[in-house]
């Protein structure tokens, strides 16, 4: 079953510490995740197999961890990436200001990569420091395919965020 997929999409989780990258991946793979040896060098790859528009695809999700201690490994993390969820925390403005840096770094290693801008923790409405309008504008400015607000806690829009990037990558593949 899971072996019969047509495409593997390497997708990165990018963003500052504690924005919710690991929580989003955990939510998306809900238990079907595979922990692998790369964990020991500061990143954790997970897989989820899905059917999008009648095509079976493998989401290969790369969640960076402890990036400061593992800087030398970053090239390997970024290399071959096709897309990234560039995540910030809606309750911490500084994490929003940093998204451009994450995109810049990823682009230097994988120039054709697609990016979706993700504002996470939208369940914490009272603590919000970044508006939806600002998120939309930033996504446009940075040429992201979309802007989406998620909550790894409630699960809101988590599937949608991963599917959006999967669907866009699939369309790109099919166009050749
Ligand atoms: P990171 O992988 O980007 O570093 P984590 O971030 O996934 O480890 O999440 C950092 C903290 O934010 C965790 O809290 C986690 O539970 C919390 N978090 C992640 N996503 C959400 C969300 O959507 N809503 C809320 N309210 N919290 C979230 P702790 O306390 O365990 O450090
Ligand atoms: Mg993490």
CA distance 138 to 146: 10
For the chain, domains (ranges, CATH) are 7-175 (3.40.50.300)
Each residue of 5-57: pLDDT tens digit? 889 999 999 999 899 998 899 889 864 344 444 555 566 678 889 999 999 99
Each residue of 47-59: pLDDT tens digit? 889 999 999 999 9
Q: Measured in angstroms, how far is the CA atom of residue 4 from the centroid of ligand 2?
A: 30
Q: pTM of the full predicted structure? A: 0.92
67: left (phi over 0), alpha (psi -120 to 50) or beta: alpha
Ligand 1 pocket, Cβ-based, cut-off 6 angstroms: 15, 17-23, 120-121, 123-124, 151-153
Atom of ligand 1 lying closest to residue 63 CA: 2
Q: Measured in angstroms, how far is the CA atom of residue 96 from the centroid of ligand 2?
A: 17
Name the strands in the sheet holding 146-149, side by side, starting at the edge strand that comes first in the sequence.
43-52, 55-64, 7-14, 83-89, 114-120, 146-149
């Amino acid at each position: 079953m899971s072996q019969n997929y047509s495409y593997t999409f390497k997708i990165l989780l990018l963003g500052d510490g504690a924005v919710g990258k690991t929580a989003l991946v955990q939510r998306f793979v809900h238990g079907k995740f595979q922990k692998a040896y790369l964990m020991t060098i500061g990143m954790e790859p997970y897989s989820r197999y899905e059917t999008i528009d009648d095509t079976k695809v493998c989401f290969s999700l790369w969640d960076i961890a402890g990036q400061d201690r593992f800087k030398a490994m970053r090239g390997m993390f970024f290399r071959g990436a096709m897309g990234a969820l560039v995540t910030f925390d809606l309750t911490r403005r500084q994490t929003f200001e940093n998204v451009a840096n994450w995109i810049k770094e990823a682009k230097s290693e994988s120039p054709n990569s697609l990016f979706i801008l993700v504002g996470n923790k939208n369940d914490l409405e009272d603590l919000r420091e970044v508006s939806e309008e600002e998120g939309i504008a930033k996504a446009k400015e940075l040429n992201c395919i979309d802007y989406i607000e998620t909550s790894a806690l409630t699960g809101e829009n988590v599937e949608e965020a991963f599917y959006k990037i999967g669907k866009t990558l699939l369309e790109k593949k099919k166009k050749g």
